[in-house]
């Protein structure tokens, strides 16, 4: 796996490759307010700590515990996206029009280079802190993203889990709940920040988003779940080796790691790109 350095930062360097495609959304920044900055770092740690305290209960009764913790996880995630992330449609440069439409579909997306965006939003948003309108403008997309998470992302992740080897004939409730947890972890922030932007979701499907906290955590959740399958075949006969537990632990850890890694300057804005040279090479040969 190689990170393509040429396309960093931002989406600007993607354009020569696909001239007819609409330029996709730039990586998402954590909101500049102090609370947002602090909480966005504390949030993964908080989730991990909460997960660690519930670990024993999950091992004892996965279905019950996963179901009862799901609302709490949802609340924490909602709080996180509202506090830390710009809602869909509120492109950083047009942040002054505070009542930015919450519906991601109708909002045309300007894709200024994110470097400029980072400068632009600083200071202007402070005016809107504590204003009710602002909170409402964030709560609405948050609720929308929630409904999408449960209505779309959970079934899709369930199917993916089964395709990756989760049992189909047994453990159905565990699989669905595991998918729900993973969906809340990964999809809430994605839908909140991007709405239903087709280009973005195309990139998500092709695992080609530029790295940021949102995409990093989503990718981390998936990768973590994949790596979480490793201890299952061991013959240790521990109760936590049962099906959804290691996967979920992997997903949570992956979420935390990805969320923190995605925003570090080293990887921010870069894309997962497996085919750095090969494509061009083969293209040359074909032509």
Partner 1 sequence: MAFSSWATVIANLLVPVGILTFSSGFFPYKPLIPGLATFDETGENTTAPAVFDKVIFMVVDALRSDFVYSNDSGFLFTQNLIRSGAALPFTAYASAPTVTMPRLKAITTGSVPSFLDVILNIAESDTTSTLAYQDTWLAQLKATGGRLVMYGDDTWLKLFPGMFDRADGTTSFFVSDFTEVDHNVTRHVPNELAQDDWSALIMHYLGLDHIGHKAGPKSPFMIPKQHEMDSVVTEIYTAMQQQDHLQSTLFVLCGDHGMNEAGNHGGSSAGETSPALLFLSPKFEALGGRRESPVEPSDDMQYYRTVEQADIAPTLAGLLGIPIPLNSLGREEKKKKKKKKKKRSATDTETGSHRLQILYQNAEQLLNTLTTTFPGSKFDSDGTTSCSSEVLSGIEGAQCAWTRIQQLLSTRDESDDPYATAGPALLQFLRIAQEVMSRTASNYDVSRLTLGLLITGVAGLFVLPATYKECTRHRSSGMFLMLMIITCGMMMFASSYVEEEQQFWYWICSGWIVYLHIKSQSQSQSSANPILRNRFGPLIYWSDKCIILVFAITQRLLRRWNQTGQKFAAEPDIARTFFTRHPEIFWGLFIFTYVDAGRYLLRSIPITGILKFGALAPTVLAFTFKLHFVTSESPELLDGTFISQIMKEWPYSLSLVLHARLVFYGLAVVVLLALVGKRSTVPRAHDTIHEALHIFLMTQSRATNVPLFLLFRIQAGILSSMNLTGIEVTITTLIFQYMTFFAFGGSNAISSVDLASGYNGIDSYSVVLVGVLTFASNWAGPIWWASQSHRLRPKNPEQNPSALLTFYVAMSLVSVMAACTALRTHLFIWTVFSPKYLYSMAWATANHVAVNLLGEVIFSRSRS
The set of residues, in sequence order, having a beta carbon less than 8 Å from that of 267 and lying 6+ positions away, is 3, 211, 216, 261
Q: Quote the longest CA-to-CA distance of the chain.
A: 61
Q: Which is nearer to partner 1, 243 or 268 (CB)?
A: 243
Among 108, 123, 233, 265, indicate the residue that binds partner 1 (CB under 8 A). 233
Q: What is the nearest approach in angstroms of partner 1 to the Cβ of residue 233?
A: 4
Q: Which is nearer to partner 1, 24 or 74 (CB)?
A: 24
Burial label, 138 (beta-carbon count in 10 A; 0-12, 13-18, 19+): buried
Among 45, 230, 239, 266, indicate the residue that binds partner 1 (CB under 8 A). 230
Hey, which residues does 272 pair with through a beta bridge?
3
Residue 141 belongs to what H/E stretch? helix 132-148
Contact between 282 and partner 1 per CB under 8 A: yes
Among 1, 139, 189, 250, indicate the residue that binds partner 1 (CB under 8 A). 1
Give, as ranges, the residues between 178 and 207 that touch partner 1 (CB under 8 A): 205-207
Give, as ranges, the residues between 258 and 277 that touch partner 1 (CB under 8 A): 272-277
Q: Which is nearer to partner 1, 2 or 266 (CB)?
A: 2
Among 42, 75, 234, 266, indicate the residue that binds partner 1 (CB under 8 A). 234
Instruction: Calculate ∠ Cα 273-250-40, nearest 5°.
Output: 75
Contact between 284 and partner 1 per CB under 8 A: no
* Strand residue runs (E) in the chain: 3-4, 271-272
d(CA 10, CA 256): 23
Burial label, 153 (beta-carbon count in 10 A; 0-12, 13-18, 19+): buried
Mask for 48-87, x = binds partner 1 (CB under 8 A): ----------------------------------------
Token pair for 88: 């869909």
Among 71, 113, 165, 239, indicate the residue that binds partner 1 (CB under 8 A). 165
Contact between 283 and partner 1 per CB under 8 A: yes
Tell me which stretch binds partner 1 (CB under 8 A): 35-43, 76-84, 137-145, 165-173.
165-173
The b-or-e profile of 215-241 (16+ CB within 10 A means b, else e) is: bbbbbbbbbbbebbeeeeeeeeeeebe
Among 67, 226, 240, 261, indicate the residue that binds partner 1 (CB under 8 A). 226
Q: Which residues bind partner 1 (CB under 8 A)?
A: 1-2, 17-18, 20-21, 162-165, 168-169, 205-208, 226, 229-230, 232-236, 272-279, 282-283, 285
């Amino acid at each position: 796996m190689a990170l393509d350095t040429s396309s960093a930062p931002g989406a600007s360097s993607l354009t020569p490759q696909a001239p007819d495609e609409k330029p996709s959304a730039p990586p998402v920044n954590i909101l500049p307010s102090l609370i947002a900055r602090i909480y966005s770092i504390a949030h993964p740690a908080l989730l991990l700590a909460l997960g660690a305290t519930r670990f024993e209960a999950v091992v004892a009764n996965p279905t019950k515990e996963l179901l009862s913790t799901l609302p709490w996880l949802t609340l924490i995630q909602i709080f996180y996206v509202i506090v830390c992330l710009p809602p869909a449609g509120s492109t950083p440069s047009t942040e002054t029009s505070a009542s930015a439409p919450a519906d991601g579909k109708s909002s045309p997306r300007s894709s200024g280079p994110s470097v400029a965006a980072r400068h632009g939003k600083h200071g202007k948003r402070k005016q809107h802190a504590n204003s009710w309108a602002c909170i409402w403008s964030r709560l609405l997309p948050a609720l929308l993203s929630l409904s999408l998470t449960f209505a779309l992302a959970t079934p899709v992740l369930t199917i993916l889990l089964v395709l990756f080897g989760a049992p189909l004939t047994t453990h159905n409730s565990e699989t669905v709940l595991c998918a729900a947890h993973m969906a809340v972890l990964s999809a809430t922030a994605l839908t909140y920040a991007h709405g239903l932007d087709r280009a973005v979701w195309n990139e998500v499907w092709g695992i080609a988003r530029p790295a940021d906290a949102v995409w990093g955590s989503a990718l981390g959740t998936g990768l973590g779940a994949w790596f979480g399958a490793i201890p299952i075949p061991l013959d240790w006969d521990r109760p936590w080796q049962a099906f959804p537990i290691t996967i979920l632990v992997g997903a949570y850890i992956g979420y935390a790691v990805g969320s923190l890694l995605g925003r570090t300057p080293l990887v921010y804005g870069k894309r997962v790109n497996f085919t750095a040279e090969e494509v061009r090479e083969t293209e040359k040969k074909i032509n």
